[in-house]
Structure 1
Amino acid sequence: MTESMNAAVMYGPGDVRFGDVPRPACPEGGFVLKVEAVGLCGSDIRNLTTDSRSGQYPFIYGHEVVGRVVETDTTEELYQVGRLLYVYPEAACLKCEFCRSGHSEQCINVEHYTEHPGGFAQYITYTRSRVERGAVYPIPEGADPVLATLAEPLSSTYACIENVGVGLHDTVAIIGAGPRCSRRACRRANR
């Protein structure tokens, strides 16, 4: 009998149901995480309220994931059972011209988080390919998993500030409502 787990599964635009689904098996050369915390990104909200998968449902979203390794099929010490990890949503190839020049954000062979079931579930798997790409980071014991889910948004913000050249004593204005949209704006986006 296949083990099950709880998950928030998307069946279509705005149709997200919480229920039992089969627990994923450990992939060859990869590992299984028990999700301890997952962030809710603005792109998650957009994906869950629009036909983001062009009818390819059901699907489990959630890409700002922190979890503990519960099963492994790799000899890497970083991925041993019990280890708390942050899993980066995108896995750059580390081989293309962009990756080699330090611009992995432009990778032409990136594995997107939407290609694999995500962290709005009790368990999530990481494949050999993602392990080899190094898109996994250890979290120190005692760190708050909820705060650790902010690693990717924080890195994006830091990169933006660095690219713009904001420095100490500069004045900055942040304009916009962030990921929250009004009901009216969301209805317009769903038309």
Structure 2
Amino acid sequence: MRAVFFESFGQRPRVADLPSPTAPSGGVVIDVEATGLCRSDWHAWAGHDDSVALPHVPGHELVGRIAQVGAGVREWRRGQRVTTPFVCGCGRCEQCRSGNAQVCPNQTQPGFTHFGSWAEQVVIHAADHNLVAVPEDLPAEAVVGLGCRFATAFRGLHHRARLQRGETAAVVGCGGVGLSTIMIARALGARTVAVDVADGALDLARRFGADDTVNAAGLAPQEVADAIVAAAGRRPAVTVEALGREETMNAALLAAAPLGRHVQIGLFAHPPVTAMPRVIGQEIAVFGSHGMPAADYPELVDLVASGALRPADLVTRTIGLDEVPEALVELGERTRPGMTLIRP
């Protein structure tokens, strides 16, 4: 199979011909229809994730068809169209049995713990616990983002922060996951303020439902927080940091309402210094969101199928495998608005 491949962290990847995988016991091999380019992939390539072993094939957002079924798989067959959360649970531990596979201590992650979906085929372990059926009439553009950015945003807003209709949410960082968060907040009936340093990203945020925007270029965290409050006319009940930078996280925390809820989605390259005095003094709840278990996907898929949530609108570029190495390197230098779809 053809795949995007690297042998050392930070080294420019290349497209290589690699041996095709075999379905493991309990798992499947999927023919990849489409996959996504995500900042988490850049973190894996840069060496920021301890679970990544070399050599490596990245990629963790995908849709495709089952090509091989391993021994012991009961619920799935060849030819079915599926997606999967990027965090796959073992299906046996206490966390998986309680419906929280996203924090399974024995989790696997395509593109992190094993070769990922920037390839013509990818392996998914514990298939009966981790695959999600995909309607035939949903285009790949509407499905790929559900594996990571939309699922993480949906869980963060709906399951963790319990965002309510009519509340205000501020989203700091309008890359792929930030724009996904804005789209979901709108679908849930909330008012949103979008924050970024790029006018193009803010234009997309308005297009996807942001009621107000703040250009934070050159502003200190407290100034960004003040601008959020001014734009919204109130302190937001929920804040979301979707970039993974200390200054943007603190801007969100400084803006949050007393007793507010902060959702941290952005991954950090290094441990941040946090505005903890405000967290303590204003009793702000801080939630992490790192994927969503497959068992919770039907609600999200139904939202997409109904048209209330339109992930396909987020796709602004489609590329092939040969273009991926350049796109990955570029991701460390600048963030393109919207989402890049890869068709192997």
Query: What's the CA shift for 1:94?
Result: 3.8
Partner of 2:170, secondary structure, is: coil
Which position in structure 1 is the counterpart of 2:2? 6
- Of residues 58, 61, 66, the one that matches 1:64 is 61
- Point out the structure with max Rg over C-alpha: 2
TM-score, structure 1 normalization: 0.78
> Does the Cα contact within 8 Å between 1:11 and 1:17 map onto a contact in 2?
no
Cα deviation digits, residues 145-182 of structure 1 (max 9, x gap) = 23211113222112211222321122222112435966
Which position in structure 2 is the counterpart of 1:86? 83
Query: What's the CA shift for 1:135?
Result: 0.6
Change beyond 3 A, Cα 1:28–1:42: same
Which position in structure 2 is the counterpart of 1:183? 333
Is 1:159 aligned to residue 155 of structure 2? yes
Query: What's the CA shift for 1:17?
Result: 0.4
Change beyond 3 A, Cα 1:43–1:175: same
Q: Following superposition of structure 1 onto structure 2, how do residues 13-92 of structure 1 map, counting pairs within 5 Å?
A: 13-50=10-47, 52=49, 56-74=53-71, 76=73, 78-92=75-89
- Of residues 116, 122, 125, the one that matches 2:123 is 125
Name the structure with the higher helix share: 2
Change beyond 3 A, Cα 1:173–1:140: same
Query: What's the CA shift for 1:104?
Result: 3.3
Higher relative contact order (Cα pairs below 8 Å, separated by 6+ residues) = 1
Q: Which runs of 4+ in 1 moved over 6 A?
A: none
What amino acid is aligned across from residue 138 of structure 2 in structure 1? A
Q: Distance in 1 between matches of 2:102 and 2:57?
A: 24
Change beyond 3 A, Cα 1:173–1:101: same
TM-score, structure 2 normalization: 0.46
Q: How many equivalent residue pairs?
A: 178
Partner of 2:172, secondary structure, is: coil
Which position in structure 1 is the counterpart of 2:184? none
Change beyond 3 A, Cα 1:175–1:181: farther
Cα deviation digits, residues 46-65 of structure 1 (max 9, x gap) = 21233646994221111112
Cα deviation digits, residues 105-142 of structure 1 (max 9, x gap) = 33222223322211000011234xx224x111111112
> Does the Cα contact within 8 Å between 1:70 and 1:82 map onto a contact in 2?
yes
Q: Distance in 1 between matches of 2:73 and 2:25?
A: 13
Q: Percent identity?
A: 26
Which position in structure 2 is the counterpart of 1:188? none
Unaligned runs of 5+ in 1: 186-191
Which position in structure 1 is the counterpart of 2:291? none
